[in-house]
Amino acid sequence: MPKEFKIAKGVKDWYGQDAILRNEIKDTLRRVFERYGYNPLETPMIERAETMKFKGGEEIQKEIFTLKDQGRRELALRFDQTLPLARFVASNKDIKFPFKRYVIGEVFRDGPTQPEQGRYRIFTQCDVDILGVKDMIAEAELLALAQDCFKELGLGNIIIKINNRKLLDGVLDYAGIPTSKKIETIIILDKMDKIGIEGVKKEIKSLLPKEKVDKLISAIKKGKNNNETYKKLTAIISSKNGKQGLDEIKQLLDYSKSLGLNFVEFDPSLARGLDYYTGTTIEVYLKDKSVVKSAVLAGGRFDNMIGAFMGSKQEISAVGFSFGLERVAMILKDIKKNIKSSNTELYLIPINTAKECLKIAHSLRNQGLNIDMDLKEKRMGQAITYAASLGILYVGIIGEDELKEDSITIKNLKTREQKKIKIDEVCKYLKVK
């Protein structure tokens, strides 16, 4: 019996419609990112282990894939795109600020998988980040960018939830949460959309006395609107850090209002689990919860990370967020109609004219058409069946008669319409169609 080679656990091959849809999403996001002035940055997927272990929180650290090279150096696969960005900026002193970058690339986490939720051990993050801008105008631009991305992806209306890590720290102080329990409490709060408020209360009660838990839960409950939530917290937050976080929330809400972003919600319970966030935290949800309940985009501000990489107390302002490609593709596959199975626009079928057909295919490709052809010279019926199985809409038949007339008989496999088209008019004919 031949040996069976199985795919690794928690990963997936992408092909056909899935692969084409993923590329369409990447192209759409890239187009919007560049419209906003972001430039690409590509970093290696393999980093030194100390880089990946520098920040990220205990939960993430457990999921890092580690390895050694032949020099016995400790290496790791990147688990996100933020730490490599910080390492890059810290080691390149000639970077001009503001520095705006985007990246679309794979990351790796040796953790639990949920394929039905688009969660794998290898997944693609599509990140945008702005470095060197302390004002909340940076966040406001990112929120506008998010709106444009979802609009162009055809995913409908969104809800953007915002909070602030400084404010959350102030809320924890108000509730009397000891410093030693703060990170653990934030990690539990980050589970809110998964286990609900009752689940969060139950887990926090295993850490803290009931009166502190009740005070915390009361403080993070939203009001009827952003203004009511803001006023409630203004009345109870007394720490300097917490007040600064509230001021930043107010600035961001003002910017959002001026941009007409009326789908921004101030949610004081929002707690991103990663420990490198220092200010704004962001999560984006589809308004239609029947499509998907969990966040489809997330991120925040990490002003201390790059200075820490430099080994100094220098603060370099940084804020960004990340789309999960697998999650977006999963959603689009459920709601989008007519996903292409092939990028081929015309499949040429030579009838004893393979040499001439190859030349014609080359000419049409140089005109910008995606052309495939039958290289095995199957019978016409077999060739048409093959093209149809790949989801190709048009086939072009080239026999001796077509060569004499400098034409191609083009057939629409959906409508069965068939027409002879001059070779120099094929491009125009297909583009109009």
The CATH number assigned to the domain holding 411 equals 3.40.50.800
- Are 253 and 382 within one domain? no
- Are 267 and 379 within one domain? no
Which CATH number belongs to the domain containing residue 322 in this structure? Answer: 3.30.930.10
- Are 330 and 404 within one domain? no
Q: What is the dihedral sign for C-alpha 91, 94, 97, 103?
A: negative
**pLDDT tier at 102, thresholds 50, 70, 90:** very high
The pLDDT, as a whole number, for residue 403 is: 96
**pLDDT tier at 56, thresholds 50, 70, 90:** low
- Are 131 and 233 within one domain? yes
Give how many domains the chain has, as a whole number: 2
> What is the span of the domain harbouring residue 373?
346-432
Residue 3 placed within a domain: no
- Are 236 and 210 within one domain? yes
Residue range 172-191: average pLDDT?
88
- Are 199 and 253 within one domain? yes
Residue 51 placed within a domain: yes
Residue range 245-273: average pLDDT?
93
Distance between CA 282 and CA 254 in Å, rounded? Answer: 16
- Are 273 and 399 within one domain? no
Q: Is the pLDDT of residue 386 over 70?
A: yes
Distance between CA 365 and CA 361 in Å, rounded? Answer: 6
Residue 217 placed within a domain: yes
**pLDDT tier at 167, thresholds 50, 70, 90:** very high
Domain end, chosen from 314, 335, 356, is at 335
Domain end, chosen from 303, 335, 367, is at 335
Mean pLDDT of the chain: 92
Residue 7 placed within a domain: no
Residue 366 placed within a domain: yes
Residue range 348-360: average pLDDT?
96
Distance between CA 66 and CA 108 in Å, rounded? Answer: 10
pLDDT by residue (tens digit) across 276-329?
A: 789 999 999 988 777 777 888 999 999 998 988 888 778 899 999 999 999 899
Distance between CA 67 and CA 376 in Å, rounded? Answer: 45
Residue 205 C-beta-side C-alpha neighbours within 13 Å: 10
- Are 331 and 352 within one domain? no
- Mean pLDDT is lowest, of 179-193, 236-250, 322-336, for 179-193
- Are 268 and 402 within one domain? no
3-state helix, strand, coil in the chain (%, to 5): 45, 20, 35
- Are 82 and 192 within one domain? yes
Residue 11 placed within a domain: no
- Are 331 and 419 within one domain? no
The pLDDT, as a whole number, for residue 57 is: 65
Residue pair 269/220 in contact (Cβ under 8 Å)? The answer is yes
The pLDDT, as a whole number, for residue 433 is: 59
Kindly report the pTM of this predicted structure.
0.89
The pLDDT, as a whole number, for residue 157 is: 86
H or E element, residue 284? strand 280-286
Residue range 43-60: average pLDDT?
85
The pLDDT, as a whole number, for residue 45 is: 97
Residue range 257-284: average pLDDT?
90
Q: How far is CA 156 from CA 15, 276, 335, in A?
A: 26, 31, 11
- Are 319 and 351 within one domain? no
Q: Is the peptide bond before 98 cis (omega within 30 degrees of 0)?
A: yes
Domain end, chosen from 312, 335, 358, is at 335
pLDDT by residue (tens digit) across 112-162?
A: 888 877 789 999 999 999 999 999 999 999 999 999 999 999 987 899 999
The pLDDT, as a whole number, for residue 200 is: 84
Residue 25 placed within a domain: yes
Residue 163 placed within a domain: yes
